[in-house]
Amino acid sequence: MAPAPTAASAARSSASQSTKTPVRGRVSASTPRKSGEKATCSNGTTRSTTSRVERIRQQTGVGYVGLNVSEDDLEAVSDGDQRSIVWFDIDNTLYHKSTRIADLMGERIHAYFLGLGLPPDEAGALHQRYYSEHGLAIRGLLKNHSGIDPLDYDRRVDGSLPLDGLLKPEAALTSLIEDLDRSKCRVFALTNAYKTHALRCIKLLGLEHLFDGIVYCDYAAGPLFCCKPDKGYFAAAAQIVRVNDASKFFFVDDSAKNIKASAGLGWGSSVLYKEDEPVEVERAVGGNDEGEGKAVKGVNDSLMALGNGEALDEEAIKQRIRSLSRPMRIRLLNIVLDAAMSGDLLSIKRTIEGQIGVTKDIISNLPERLAVLIFERLAVQDLLRSALVCKRWQSLTAHPDIWRSHALALTETDAKALSPPSDPRSWRDVVQKLYIRERNWSRGLGQGVQFCRGHTGFVTSMKLRGRDTLVTGSHDGTLRVWDLSDSSVAPICRRVIKADKIACLDFLVDSSASSTPSLLAAGLYDTGRILLFDLATGAHLHTLTGHNRGIRHVAIDSRHVVSVGQDKAICVWDHSTGERVARFGQQANVSLGVSLVGDDKLVAVTIDGVIRCFSIAGKRMVGEYHLAKLGRGDTKWGAMLKDFTAAGGEAGILTWFAAHRNSITVASKTTVVHLEWAEHIETTGSETPSARGRRDSTESAVSTTTTPSRTPSSATRRTRTTSNASTASTSTATTSASLAASPSASRLRASRASLGGTAPSTPSSSTTKRKSLVGTGSGLTPSSSSKSLSSSLSSMTPSSSAASLPSPSRRNGSGSTAADAIGEATRTDGQVETKSRFAPNLAVPPRIVSVLKTPEVVTGAVHPQKRRVICSTRFASRVPPEERSIYVSTFDASSPSAIADGGAAPSAKLRGAWASASGEENLTTSERNPMCIEVDDESVVVGCSDGLVYR
């Protein structure tokens, strides 16, 4: 029973209980007050907002939840109150140990340790060590591991327990506690659990009206919070109830360590409560079960038939034995073994071992390489569970090739190639770090903050290429180039370029395989000029003119610079000569941003949600799409895009824009829309102006080109690129890519080879076939051999989908590739040579990949390969500090239906090191209002209104 009559009697007698006294009616827990309010106690006095109980919680991590006695009532208790205090532990004290809730907790804690990437044996040993050394496993985790979210731990462990089906009120327990004389004692719960679990247990047991309150461990207080059997915990509990005389405390607990600690502090009476576990008696064979009796009779009849010389009917005997209960089958096996002759036992043993080997573990009997390939297909969590099956599986799952494969999958969309560890056995450690990185992203847990100081005016624009180079522009008239290559130290400013008030910028980083220099294009606020600099030296190369008002956005690739201005015009320059090669006249509204696609097309978006696509060579518009119309005819998308209609008003005005290759992201204050164009095969070459024509492709999806389209398959292909966010440009493709296999498969084979794996050869016949398909203009849909991680990683691992164009065969700093002409083939028609390539089909409407609903935000950035969106609210002085937040969201492009129920996507507020910064480094002040954001694989970079840049 919980608690047993002996334990209850001890507590009752210790509390000097005499007669039953009615319990006060239930009072709601104290309500949080706003800063600056005064709390009024029951006796009419007032106290400051930060209560004594709250100060105790902040100092010790021991908190209080009032049930019938609030914090205010505790303050009102007079020093002359002579009543004793009766403390009850909750777990395994107020409910039966036979519920096995403790076992369920242990399983969940062990699963949490396994989720950290620990081997099963090490996870179990560490769990027990932390429990014995620190009193609670979570306290050991917080003290010895970084990136642990204590409240997430509580949700996964105590919060996931099926208490509703295990706990219910018990009349004996209720009566026992009711009998305590409240004129002589007060009754509290004293637990090591977090308040959520404690309240659940008390309420499910129907005892909330009998306890004055709950003293609990506040896991969120940090690694130094106190818990039983710490002396600090018992001291904090005494301070909370305002009783200094330890002899007035009477304590019931199921832990000998806790009882010993309280007794050592001089508590009046400490009762160790131990409940005898009930003995489970298995049903006797041959009971009253009618079905079991029929099965036994059937087996007896079969055995009797054998004795009478009848033929052995194996199937009939098997069927009858299988109909027996498990205890009966074991008993029958024992009878056979008892009846066997001594010489039969060895043969029986071999038969049993053979059955176990064949029917239970096929994988262990396979060649090691084949078994490793099977385990390679498992997600990380399933892999860790498989290691618990047997020693053979534990050995197989530790194979370096398995963990290398997972490391490649986790970093396939990273900007920087993964460096192999010196010891192949360390691949598992690499995966663990990557797994924690992705988990921290999904939870918004920042691990550190680094500052880039130097700007004196607000930061208006930033661009980040890979993980190494950041360029920032400010209203103070300077451009700064930052070196981020060493993440262990603060970013270093390598160059300061003086210009004028910067409105926007983009840059192109030189690569060893390209003759294009490192270039920086910066658009100015009010002069309509674009300044072009050599990024390596800071030398001014050209001043590009063509706008009569300030520049809003600029983009650069290996051939062109394109800009949009306040004058609603779009201008394109050849940056090698500084000459303007095209100008597209005034649009209907001001453009928000522009992106270069391939080497001869651009996409511009106006603030009213109109997307226009232009051919630079043909000097014509090839498509115009209204954002609101893209969802027309689809009930889900139509409802979610209603803000972008004319009726949406100000809510439909776009505030920020990002683009990468064939995908773009546009956002209003509360809606983020991600779009992708399908790919098709196009023939490269100059376009003639005679092909010009204008139509709204939103109204008609018929393409003007005869080449087939293909829709990118995010579930089968991932790309690895360097650019991570806004308006990344693409470079001219000059080399032919292999058509022998899918780009993703070829890339994964090459990555495995470079990291110690084996790159299988590709049949030459495939090359011939693919070239033939390109030559005839047939559609191609390559499939990937890349292995994506299971979605069971709770959004901690990167999606297998990525930007829709295939991966580059090499990288350069701008995010563009030398294999932009994917599937490129050359054929000669007489004396005319043409080339074909995969490219976004801008003549048809883009498809809606995802629509995310957000709080009211003003700026943001996108990492398309990781399917990650970062956005920020306005940090205005009129906005409360708790509403000044940066949000990390993810979306699943492979399954748009996943957000069909309103558009909400998994999101988290940025916390950790970002939220804990204080003093001069406080990042939530109105002076630190985010003006622009960039994001890469491992960090978020924010430019602020006071000139500070941090990541």
DSSP assignment of 548-579:
SS-EEEEEE-SSEEEEEETTS-EEEEETTTTE
- Sequence-separated (6 or more) residues with CB below 8 Å from residue 245: none
Q: Which residue has the higher pLDDT, 824 or 530?
A: 530
Q: What are phi and psi of 118, to 5 degrees?
A: -85, 145
Question: Residue 687's pLDDT is what?
Answer: 46
Q: What is the mean pLDDT of residues 318-326?
A: 77
**Largest separation between any pair of C-alpha atoms in the chain:** 112
Predicted TM-score (pTM) of this structure: 0.53
CA-CA distance, 76 to 79, in Å (whole number)? 9
Handedness of CA 566, 571, 572, 578 (dihedral sign): negative
Question: Residue 318's pLDDT is what?
Answer: 77
**Alpha helices by DSSP H, 116-170:** 120-134, 137-144, 150-156
Q: What is the DSSP string of 872-941?
A: E----TTS-GGG--EEEEE--TT-GGGGTTTS---EEE-EEHHHH--GGG-SSSGGG-EEEEEE-SS-EE
- Nearest residue to 207 via CA among 10, 80, 23, 61: 23
Q: What is the mean pLDDT of residues 431-449?
A: 88
Question: Residue 662's pLDDT is what?
Answer: 83
| Residue 936, burial from CB neighbour count under 10 angstroms (0-12, 13-18, 19+) | buried
Q: What is the mean pLDDT of residues 73-91?
A: 88
| pLDDT band per the 50, 70, 90 thresholds, residue 684 | low
Q: What are phi and psi of 65, to 5 degrees?
A: -120, 120
Q: Is the pLDDT of residue 269 over 70?
A: yes
Q: What is the mean pLDDT of the chain?
A: 75
The token duo for 655 is 């505030």
What pLDDT, in 10s, does the model give residues 854-874? 888 889 999 888 888 999 999
Cα distances (angstroms) measured from residue 318 to each of 311, 315, 324, 326: 15, 5, 10, 14
Q: What is the mean pLDDT of residues 827-838?
A: 58
Question: Residue 75's pLDDT is what?
Answer: 85
What pLDDT, in 10s, does the model give residues 302-315? 666 665 666 667 77
Q: What are phi and psi of 21, to 5 degrees?
A: -120, 135
Question: Residue 40's pLDDT is what?
Answer: 52
The C-alpha angle 845, 851, 855, rounded to 5 degrees, equals 140
Give the CA-trace dihedral at 730, 733, 738, 741, to 10 degrees: 20
Question: Residue 778's pLDDT is what?
Answer: 33
**Please, are residues 673 and 666 in contact by the beta-carbon 8 Å criterion?**
yes
CA-CA distance, 297 to 291, in Å (whole number)? 10
CA-CA distance, 239 to 54, in Å (whole number)? 11
| pLDDT band per the 50, 70, 90 thresholds, residue 948 | very high
**Please, are residues 694 and 764 in contact by the beta-carbon 8 Å criterion?**
no
What pLDDT, in 10s, does the model give residues 364-381? 878 888 989 999 999 888
Q: Is the pLDDT of residue 105 over 50?
A: yes
The token duo for 811 is 């990288």
Q: Is the pLDDT of residue 383 over 60?
A: yes
* Residue 892 neighbours by CB distance under 10 Å: 21
The token duo for 39 is 């709390």
Q: What is the mean pLDDT of residues 394-423?
A: 88
Give the CA-trace dihedral at 23, 24, 29, 32, to 10 degrees: -150
What pLDDT, in 10s, does the model give residues 734-792? 333 333 333 344 444 444 444 444 433 333 333 333 333 233 333 333 333 333 333 33
CA-CA distance, 862 to 864, in Å (whole number)? 6
- Sequence-separated (6 or more) residues with CB below 8 Å from residue 43: 76
The C-alpha angle 517, 523, 524, rounded to 5 degrees, equals 140
Question: Residue 571's pLDDT is what?
Answer: 94
DSSP conformational letter for 673: E
**Residue at token pair 């893209």:** 630
| Residue 252, burial from CB neighbour count under 10 angstroms (0-12, 13-18, 19+) | buried
CA-CA distance, 322 to 333, in Å (whole number)? 12
**Please, are residues 523 and 502 in contact by the beta-carbon 8 Å criterion?**
yes
| Residue 515, burial from CB neighbour count under 10 angstroms (0-12, 13-18, 19+) | exposed
Q: Which residue has the higher pLDDT, 848 or 281?
A: 848
CA-CA distance, 270 to 88, in Å (whole number)? 10
The token duo for 890 is 């993810």
**Backbone conformation region of residue 277, classed left if phi is above 0, alpha if psi is from -120 to 50, else beta:** beta
Domain boundaries, the chain: 52-272, 363-443
Strands across the sheet containing 591-597: 591-597, 601-606, 610-615, 620-626
**Least-confidence region, from 35-39, 448-452, 504-508:** 35-39
**Least-confidence region, from 88-97, 232-241, 654-663, 786-795:** 786-795
Return the CATH class of domain 363-443.
Answer: mainly alpha
Q: What are phi and psi of 311, to 5 degrees?
A: -65, 150
% pLDDT > 90, the chain = 30
Q: Is the pLDDT of residue 236 over 90?
A: yes
Q: What is the DSSP string of 50-99?
A: S-HHHHHHHHHSEEEEESSS-HHHHHH--TT---EEEEE--TTTTS-GGG
**Please, are residues 507 and 518 in contact by the beta-carbon 8 Å criterion?**
yes
| Residue 566, burial from CB neighbour count under 10 angstroms (0-12, 13-18, 19+) | middle
| pLDDT band per the 50, 70, 90 thresholds, residue 710 | very low
Alpha carbon of residue 864 to chain centroid: 15
Most confident of 411-420, 514-523, 903-912: 411-420
Q: Is the pLDDT of residue 893 over 50?
A: no
| pLDDT band per the 50, 70, 90 thresholds, residue 348 | confident
Question: Residue 84's pLDDT is what?
Answer: 93
CA-CA distance, 921 to 595, in Å (whole number)? 35
Across 585-623, b (16+ Cβ under 10 Å) vs e yields eebeebbbbbbbbbbbbbbbbbbbbbbbbbbbbbebbbb
Q: Which residue has the higher pLDDT, 139 or 636?
A: 139
**Please, are residues 198 and 95 in contact by the beta-carbon 8 Å criterion?**
no
Helix (H) or strand (E) holding 114: helix 101-115
What pLDDT, in 10s, does the model give residues 542-556? 999 989 889 999 999
Q: Is the peptide bond before 712 cis (omega within 30 degrees of 0)?
A: no
3-class SS letters over 787-842: CCCCHHHCCCCCCCCCCCCCCCCCCCCCCCCCCCCEEEEEEEECCEEEEEEEEECC
CA-CA distance, 862 to 723, in Å (whole number)? 10
**Please, are residues 137 and 123 in contact by the beta-carbon 8 Å criterion?**
no
What pLDDT, in 10s, does the model give residues 168-194? 999 989 999 999 999 899 999 999 999
Amino acid identity, position 528: G
Helix (H) or strand (E) holding 275: none
Helix, strand, coil percentages in the chain from 3-state DSSP, rounded to 5:
30, 25, 45
- Sequence-separated (6 or more) residues with CB below 8 Å from residue 548: 528, 565, 567
CA-CA distance, 698 to 696, in Å (whole number)? 5
Question: Residue 49's pLDDT is what?
Answer: 62
Question: Residue 749's pLDDT is what?
Answer: 41
Handedness of CA 714, 715, 716, 719 (dihedral sign): positive
CA-CA distance, 410 to 180, in Å (whole number)? 59
**Alpha helices by DSSP H, 116-230:** 120-134, 137-144, 150-156, 171-178, 195-204
Question: Residue 25's pLDDT is what?
Answer: 38
Q: Are 52-272 and 363-443 in the same CATH fold?
A: no
- Nearest residue to 932 via CA among 667, 564, 723, 656: 656
- Nearest residue to 575 via CA among 603, 616, 607: 616
Question: Residue 453's pLDDT is what?
Answer: 92
CA-CA distance, 695 to 622, in Å (whole number)? 8
| pLDDT band per the 50, 70, 90 thresholds, residue 502 | very high
Return the CATH class of domain 52-272.
Answer: alpha beta
CA-CA distance, 540 to 900, in Å (whole number)? 50
What pLDDT, in 10s, does the model give residues 481-490? 999 888 788 8
What pLDDT, in 10s, does the model give residues 352-368? 777 765 556 778 878 88
Question: Residue 306's pLDDT is what?
Answer: 62
Alpha carbon of residue 274 to chain centroid: 42
Q: Which residue has the higher pLDDT, 749 or 223?
A: 223
Q: What is the DSSP string of 573-609?
A: EETTTTEEEEEE---SS-EEEEEEETTTEEEEEETTS
